[in-house]
Amino acid sequence: MSDHPGPEILAARWVSHSRLFHVEELRLRFGNGVERTYERLNPGFHGAVMVVPVSDDGRLLLVREYGAGVGDYYLSFPKGAVHAEESMLDAANRELMEEVGFGAHELELLTELSLSPSYMGNRMSIVLARGLFEKRLPGDEPEPLTVSAHTFEELIDLQASGVLNEAYAVAALFLARERLATAEAP
């Protein structure tokens, strides 16, 4: 990614572990001789996926679920962890079935995003799902999720009003809109 060599790792140790995160302390020496200690969060799983499901009529399906980090319910695309034994696209289809009650015949990786790369190691694969068919799998959510269908215009309005405010979901919305627009172009 960069032609610039990274700093030398002088020491690395795990500071704390939970079910979802691992905190690692790194002691680094940069090329100019400056030494610093950093902490970073690494996920306790094998990656994550966010699915942008598009129905046959062009509406996007989102879920409303509780987010402990913000202490409230929020609107987002279905998402979850990739299990060790499954591919990223299989995980996307599974999460779609668990959270929305649909599977997809067509799954396309749009990109992989990171959030706060200065101290977080997790990445989210954004997947576009088309050719939806009804299929529900049991999920791990503590309560049923509310599913809603929206046009791109409605979602842009919801984002402007603060209702759709998860960074990954906003990025996924615009990436999906761009991908679908180029797919429909002559």
Q: Helix, strand or coil for residue 57?
A: coil
Is residue 3 a part of any domain in this protein? no
Q: The pTM is what?
A: 0.85
Query: Which conformational region is residue 83 in: left (phi greater than 0), alpha (psi within -120 to 50 degrees), or beta?
Result: beta
Residues 39 and 111 in one domain: no
- DSSP letter for 68, please: T
Residues 157 and 110 in one domain: yes
Q: Is 130 exposed, middle or buried (0-12, 13-18, 19+ CB in 10 A)?
A: middle
Is residue 2 a part of any domain in this protein? no
pLDDT of residue 169: 95
Outline where 28-184 has alpha helix (H): 88-99, 152-160, 167-184
Residues 139 and 173 in one domain: yes
Is residue 162 a part of any domain in this protein? yes
Q: For the chain, what's the residue count?
A: 186
Q: What total number of domains does the chain contain?
A: 2
| 133 DSSP β-pair partners | 103
Residues in CB range of 1: below 8 A, 6 or more apart: none
pLDDT of residue 28: 87
Torsion of CA 154, 156, 157, 163, to 10 degrees: 100
Averaged pLDDT in 10-residue chunks for the chain of 186 residues: 77 83 84 89 78 97 91 94 93 97 97 82 91 94 92 94 93 95 76
Residues 143 and 166 in one domain: yes
Say which CATH number the domain at 67 has: 3.90.79.10
Residues 12 and 80 in one domain: no
Residues 31 and 77 in one domain: no
Write phi, then psi, for 173 (nearest 5 degrees): -55, -50
Residues 38 and 78 in one domain: no
Identify the domain containing residue 141 by its residue range: 48-184
Residues 153 and 83 in one domain: yes
Residues 86 and 115 in one domain: yes
